[in-house]
A and B are shown apart, each in its own frame.
Chain A
Amino acid sequence: MKAAEIQSTKGFTAESSELKESRPYPPCRAACPVHTDVQAYVADVAEGRYTDAFEVIRSVNPIASACSLICHHPCEQQCRRCGVDEPLGVRHLKRFALEQATDYRRSKRHAVAQTKGKSVAIIGSGPAGLTAANDLADLGYKVTIFEKNPTLGGMLSAAIPAYRLPRVTLQEDIDDVLSKGVEAKTNCEIGKDVTLAELSSKYNAVLIATGLSLSRSLNIPGVDSPGVLLALPFLSDAAYERKVDLGKKTLVIGGGNVAIDVARTAKRLGAENVEMVCLESEEEMPAWSWEVDEAVEEGIKIHYRWGPKAVKASNGKAEGLEVVKVTSVFDESGRFSPKFDQNETMLIEADTIIIAIGQMSDFSFLKDSAVKVDERGRLVWSQATQMSSAPGVFVSGEVVTGPGSAIAAASTGHRVATAIDLYLSGKNIEAALVSDRKDKINEMPKDIIQKLAVQPRGKVAHIEPDARCTSFIQFEAGYDEYTALREARRCRSCGAGAVVNQDKCVACLTCLRVCPYDAPIVTNKAEISPDRCQACGLCVPACPCQAITMVGYDVNAIRNSMPSIIGDKGAEPVIVAFMCSHYAAEKGASLSSNVRKVRVHCTSRVDVHDMLSAFEYGADGAFIVFCGSDDCRYREVYPRVKMRTELAKKMLGATGMDPDRLAYFRTGGEAGSDWVKAIEDMAAKLKEMGK
């Protein structure tokens, strides 16, 4: 028999969703510039709903696929598991979910009706431009993107090396946006092919999202020598597979992420020896530590705390860089202010020197336009309205924020799209444009950390350094399903815990007594600390007044959906299985069609009346599937819910039904076959009882 359709009690209702939004964000969500509901999509992955996970991710992030590979994942850095063991592998889970949902994602693409009758021109198709295009198209505007490069994506396409971000992956994001009816003009440079004034007259609004497209150079002797290159043209040549002449020995100047990209790209383009030199120490270096580690693995040597002094060249060819020792990089107040010891210098030999010390905007296209640039070369704009000095010309992304992450640029794309919509609707932008919310729950209390089981983070495989340096093949593998499902279970659901309805609470202390984490505080009424609550839900069924609910979960969901869960009864006994929603627990278990699954966040949330409701609506049997002790992410669930189940069995017996119609079973987490047998045994027993 084929397994029954999974009956999910995901349990989101309008009320619970509203409650969730009204509470402080978990740190992962607060840290994400677009506030991706990490918890929600991780739960979707854990529960095997990969397309739901995609929807959660994509709803706020139009560059989701790119982020799944290159995001610096501030969510992970803020993850409250950090204190326990290692952060959740959020980026890997995002990648897994998106890969699983690829077909679904493509099938959902469709044009959005351009109901507004107004048009917007967007200059630049990087994260900010793409995001704004996405949002404005969704709102019903006719959107045209102008991109000077041959492909869309901004730096994601023109600079980020393909070993980190394969272009087919990026294309998924771009196709999503284009499918909405967004028009794109590539190889179209403003100021040459079309002027800003022309765009302003032809479109109702214009967005400048041109980012930082120029590399900064150095003002040192010999910098104009042949063999001295700039980072972005170099990366762009590599990205578009244009020929780059590299010598045998390449030296990269800079300590940021772009410098790392440059060095690793040079390695892949055949430079025998690649070295880097930066002002900072290893600890001070601005590049992400994991990217530095990966570069070092690939044999790239880094000279820390040396500053460039002069390019040495002879016979019209660079021969090396003279560097001077750095004594400090930052002043006492933490500002960038490098100091040197001019007595200590050395020469680093190199026939190719690539300068990767930062990027800046190219404002040449603004010449003679109404968009002002100040005396320091910065765009004049208003953060409150996202508008430049020219009415109807908006700005977003790194062109105004300065260097940052792709996802931070995307977040400004959302904001400017809202601003443009307000402007084109004749509304006051400043009054309606809300500021970003920052509230989040606090760090995990130390005593709770000690109560949590260590569960090592799921790892992904990298191609061995020697092998990966020979081409631009993607070097990092994603999670397989087994690893993803296990990893998703590590999420602590921070902040999505219990909430007490103060009107119903009678301060009976029961929640305080059953909570394994001492989260409730009872004075006049119970209050449950979101910092301490681990969202297991043990307190919910324990409350005699039904005063406790869960953030993002409808505690009445099981009861209310039981009639549809039971559905039509066939000849076989109908068995309701209450189980942990973690898909890992049942994956591989081929269950017969008479089994009705009720999947909950944890069986801790299953109440006596939930169990009885199965029989109330005609089930022949029911049982609770407990996770094994090593698999349950909560404490005390098994003994507590076992007692609860024993009570329900007694109550069932009191009504005259055989108490053995309700049973419980502890699985080994992935031991699907174990509980196939348990269910078969129960079905046989029920038949003996006459169903």
Chain B
Amino acid sequence: MIVGQQKKFDEIWEMVKGFRKVMVLGCNTCIAVCHAGGDKEADALASMLKIKAANEKVSMDVSHGAIQRQCENEFFTPVLEDLAKYDLVLSIACGVGVNFLSARIGKTPVYPGVNTQFFGGVPKPGFFEELCGGCGSCVLNLTGGICPIARCSKSLMNGPCGGTNKGKCEVSQDIDCAWFLIVERMKQLGTLEKLFEVQPPRDWSGSFHGGPRRVVVEHLRDIEEKQ
């Protein structure tokens, strides 16, 4: 799922303080699961804004709410008209939601309350870990199910590098060396010899470097549009 983290409140306040009528809008899917931008977080953030506004003697009317997903038209249908009546919508969805709403709401600005981080998993309660780089060309079959793009600090395809140290990455002792993990996993699978095959340079055009990406599932398209 997409993992994000709420922005520092000071930064949010700087964005918001000039507006009189503000809607804090949560998204009850990925970003709710990582407790950064669901219904509950929208409620608490709205409360903080009200406290701050009162202390700063700024007249601000803050509301809050959430929809199921801020990345699909249908979920906006019942609320879009209302949202357009605010001076600002502070979206605490991932960046997708901010983009999506911004393109549809008309003149009302949509600002982000969350820093969207990564595609991650939940190894234990309260922990969210980056596990996939969304590179557009998956190689997990070659690396024992451990993503070198997302989990190696250098995204090496032929690791490890000289910075590996007792299973940790030279970037931080808190980061496991992905290539150490890959070697251990390949040993366990009995496929260590595969790592002797040198991987050629990757074609990164399917990743961030080839411009914005789009996936089309032909059979799900609107009939009229297709015709």
A contact set with B: CB distance below 8 Å? 504, 506, 508-510, 513-514, 541, 543-547, 607-609, 612-613, 615-616, 618, 651-652, 654-657
Contacts and interface: CB of A to CB of B under 8 A. Distances in A.
Given A504-B28, A615-B51, A655-B51, A544 B44 contact: no
A609 B43 CA distance: 7
24 contacts: A506-B32, A506-B33, A508-B33, A509-B122, A510-B125, A544-B32, A544-B38, A545-B28, A545-B38, A545-B66, A546-B39, A547-B39, A607-B40, A607-B44, A609-B43, A609-B47, A613-B47, A615-B51, A651-B9, A652-B48, A652-B51, A655-B52, A656-B56, A657-B55
A506 B55 contact: no
Contact of A508 (B32, B44, B50): B32
Given A506-B29, A616-B50, A545 B44 contact: no
Contact of B51 (A506, A514, A608, A612): A612
Nearest to A507: B33
B50 A544 contact: no
B9 A609 contact: no
Chain B interface, DSSP helix/strand/loop, else mixed: helix
Contacts of B43: 546, 609
Nearest to A508: B33
Interface in B2-47: 8-10, 28-29, 32-33, 35, 38-41, 43-44, 47
Contact of B41 (A506, A544, A654): A544
A133 to B, nearest CB: 51
A211 B54 CA distance: 70
Contacts of B48: 612, 651-652, 654-655
A616 B51 contact: yes
Interface of B: 8-10, 28-29, 32-33, 35, 38-41, 43-44, 47-48, 50-52, 54-56, 66, 122, 125
B9 A655 contact: yes
B44 A656 contact: no
A24 to B, nearest CB: 29
Given A545-B28, A609-B47, A656 B52 contact: yes
A616 B44 CA distance: 11
A635 B28 CA distance: 29
Contacts of A504: 28, 39
A509 B122 CA distance: 10
B55 A656 contact: yes
B209 to A, nearest CB: 33
Contacts of B122: 509
* Most-contacted residue by chain B among A513, A545, A547, A613 (CB, 10 A): A545
Contact of B35 (A544, A652, A657): A544
A545 B39 contact: yes
A607 B66 CA distance: 18
Given A544-B39, A654-B8, A655-B9, A612 B44 contact: yes
Contacts of A657: 51, 55
Contacts of B56: 656
Given A544-B32, A544-B39, A609-B40, 15 more contacts: A508-B33, A514-B125, A541-B40, A543-B40, A544-B41, A545-B32, A545-B40, A546-B39, A546-B40, A547-B39, A609-B43, A609-B44, A609-B47, A656-B52, A656-B55
Contacts of A613: 47
B189 to A, nearest CB: 29
B169 to A, nearest CB: 29
Contacts of A616: 47, 50-51, 54
A88 to B, nearest CB: 34
A479 B149 CA distance: 70
Contacts of B125: 510, 513-514
Nearest to A650: B9
Closest 7 CB pairs between A and B? A654-B9, A544-B38, A612-B47, A508-B33, A544-B32, A655-B52, A513-B125
Contacts of A513: 125
Nearest to A608: B44
Contacts of A608: 40, 44
Nearest to A513: B125
Contacts of B38: 506, 544-546
A651 B54 CA distance: 15
A619 to B, nearest CB: 10
A574 to B, nearest CB: 14
B40 to A, nearest CB: 5
A655 B54 CA distance: 10
Nearest to A514: B125
Nearest to A654: B9
- In the complex, which of the residues B9, B50, B51, B52 has the most CB atoms of chain A within 10 Å of its own CB atom? B51
B64 to A, nearest CB: 9
A630 to B, nearest CB: 27
A609 B9 CA distance: 15
A508 B34 CA distance: 8
A608 B35 CA distance: 13
Contacts of B35: 510, 544
B225 to A, nearest CB: 30
A141 B56 CA distance: 64
Contacts of A547: 39
A74 B55 CA distance: 57
A506 B2 CA distance: 14
B122 to A, nearest CB: 8
B45 to A, nearest CB: 9
A649 to B, nearest CB: 12
A308 to B, nearest CB: 70
A479 B44 CA distance: 44
A645 to B, nearest CB: 13
Nearest to A541: B40
A651 B44 contact: yes
A654 B55 CA distance: 12
A612 B62 CA distance: 14
A613 B48 CA distance: 9
Nearest to A607: B40
A545 B54 CA distance: 27
A607 B52 CA distance: 19
Contacts of A543: 40
A36 B56 CA distance: 53
Nearest to B37: A544
A492 B10 CA distance: 44
Contacts of B50: 616
B40 A544 contact: yes
A613 B43 CA distance: 10
Contacts of B39: 504, 544-547
Nearest to A556: B43
Contacts of B9: 651, 654-655
Contacts of A651: 9, 44, 48
